[in-house]
Homo-oligomer: A and B are copies of this chain.
Amino acid sequence: MVKVGIVGGTGYTGVELLRLLALHEEAQVVAITSRAESGRRVDDLYPNLRGHYELAFTEPDIQLLAACDVVFFATPHNVAMNMVPELLAAGARVIDLSADYRIRDAALWSAWYGEPHASPELLDEAVYGLPEVNRAQIAGAQLVACPGCYPTSVQLGFIPLLAKGLVDPGQLIASSASGVSGAGRQAKVDNLLSEVADSFKAYGVEGHRHLPEIEQGLADAAGESVALTFVPHLLPIIRGIHSTLFARLRGDAGDLQALYEQWYADEPFVDVLPTGTLPQTRTVKGANRCQLAIAVPQGRDTVVVMAAIDNLVKGASGQAVQNMNIMLGLDEQMGLRQVGLLP
């Protein structure tokens, strides 16, 4: 059995890791840390876990974590970058669900996160954990930076078009919408049910922290720089991200449906829907899956790609487990076969 440690287990990506790993045949969670809840059983905080875990939260302890085969960081940014160097030195593999190692350029990271990076020397070593792009590097990595939720949906949607050079990389638009769990389990008035239920709004229009991460990934795919207008919106639901992507075709694009189907033919967790079927967040709820659809409305020169994921699964904890499976040479789908909870 693989010994798993989780740093920062009280948030939503933490409990989601526990939910997924409870059914993982080869992984055993042996440590889960939380300063605030130290000593409390995880199933007391999250009664859905009763009967699945005997574990309690503990204070973070590098020694204990270093003894794990894999350590997940399910923390806000600015935690992993301080603890990871020591863990790597001790030989542990690390999968960071936070933003700390996603952007390769430390100055760019600092510009968006408003502070210096604490371990910039690791940015080159960290592998961006989007398996559909970097599977081979992930397999050999000691440190994986799990992509953000919006970036996962936007990249999986745009990459075939950009890699094939079919669209203008300087005029990309992503109109995305996320469930409120993406904002985490923080006590903020803004995320009260009474503030966000029964409503819809854009936010972060002037600049969301996922923008540089997305543009980095899209530029890699395009082989040139890109410009993305990214507008996230807040959905009055708990889970789910839906991205509607717009790009200008450079000419006759050929059969885009066939392109997407072929591009992702061997990907177990990317599902190109048949023509005429559009993704819904409910069809991937609780599942480690990205569903995609492509259209060229009225046969004009704008292509529309729609992508749906569960932000806590393929957008966070499920993708993290997928990365773990790859890093450890396990079946990539182990623990990740759950079916979307529909209805």
Residues of chain A touching chain B, judged by Cβ–Cβ distance below 8 Å, are 12, 15, 18-19, 22-23, 44, 46-52, 171, 173, 175, 177, 179-181, 183, 185-189, 191-203, 205-207, 211, 227, 229-231, 233, 235-240, 242, 244, 246, 248, 268, 271, 273-274, 277-287, 291, 293, 295, 297-298, 300, 302, 304, 306, 308, 312, 337-343
Contact = CB atoms under 8 A, between A and B. Distances in A.
A15 B343 contact: yes
A48 B283 contact: yes
Contacts of A199: 237, 240, 280-282, 285
Contacts of A196: 193
Of A22, A44, A177, the most chain B CB neighbours within 10 A belong to A177
B201 A197 contact: no
A156 to B, nearest CB: 16
Contact of A273 (B12, B47, B200, B284): B47
A319 to B, nearest CB: 17
15 contacts: A47-B342, A50-B273, A171-B302, A177-B200, A180-B197, A185-B189, A188-B192, A198-B237, A199-B285, A200-B235, A202-B242, A205-B278, A229-B300, A229-B304, A238-B343
A155 B22 CA distance: 30
A149 to B, nearest CB: 14
Given A200-B242, A297-B206, A297-B207, A48 B195 contact: no
A282 B234 CA distance: 12
B195 A244 contact: no
Contact of A302 (B19, B173, B238, B339): B173
Contacts of A207: 297-298
How many copies of this chain are found per oligomer? 4
A48 B287 contact: yes
A51 B265 CA distance: 12
Contacts of A244: 175, 202, 231, 233
A42 to B, nearest CB: 12
B180 A177 contact: no
Given A19-B339, A201-B242, 14 more contacts: A12-B194, A47-B342, A50-B271, A51-B268, A173-B173, A179-B194, A180-B192, A180-B193, A187-B188, A191-B192, A199-B285, A202-B244, A202-B278, A229-B302
A342 B185 CA distance: 12
A213 to B, nearest CB: 15
A237 B200 contact: yes
